[in-house]
């Protein structure tokens, strides 16, 4: 997995980098086929914004979260991303399962 973390109007400190990396490990634990992850953290007056684009095998997932606290925005972002990745994983796994049962019932 290639991970790129960048900041707009924000310096990425080692603490922020470690926090984001630790949170994104949860996503890679659930789905192994993560190819590339781009995280953009930005500050706009009182709003902290976190965006992520995850390149999976066969799909790109984009998620963003806005909060007053950057760490809270990252938490919300990872929760949203985890739900979308699990949904994609279920779609990939359940692809042709219903067809075998349909053929048995028709015979």
Domain boundaries, the chain: 2-106
Sign of the dihedral through C-alpha 66, 44, 13, 64: positive
Architecture (CATH level 2) of domain 2-106: 2-Layer Sandwich (3.30)
More confident residue, 64 or 27: 64
pLDDT 10s digits, 50-74: 999 998 877 899 999 999 999 999 9
Query: Per the structure block, which two tokens stand in for 3?
Result: 């991970």
């Amino acid at each position: 997995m290639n991970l790129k973390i960048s900041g707009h109007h924000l310096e990425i400190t080692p603490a922020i980098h470690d926090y984001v990396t630790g949170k994104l490990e949860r996503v890679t634990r659930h789905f192994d086929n993560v190819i590339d992850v781009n995280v953009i953290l930005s500050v706009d007056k009182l709003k902290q914004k976190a965006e992520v684009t995850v390149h999976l095998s066969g799909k790109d997932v984009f998620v963003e979260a806005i909060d007053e606290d950057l760490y809270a925005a990252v938490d919300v972002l990872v929760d949203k991303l985890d739900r979308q990745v699990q949904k994609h994983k279920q779609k990939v796994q359940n692809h042709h399962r219903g067809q075998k049962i349909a053929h048995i019932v028709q015979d």
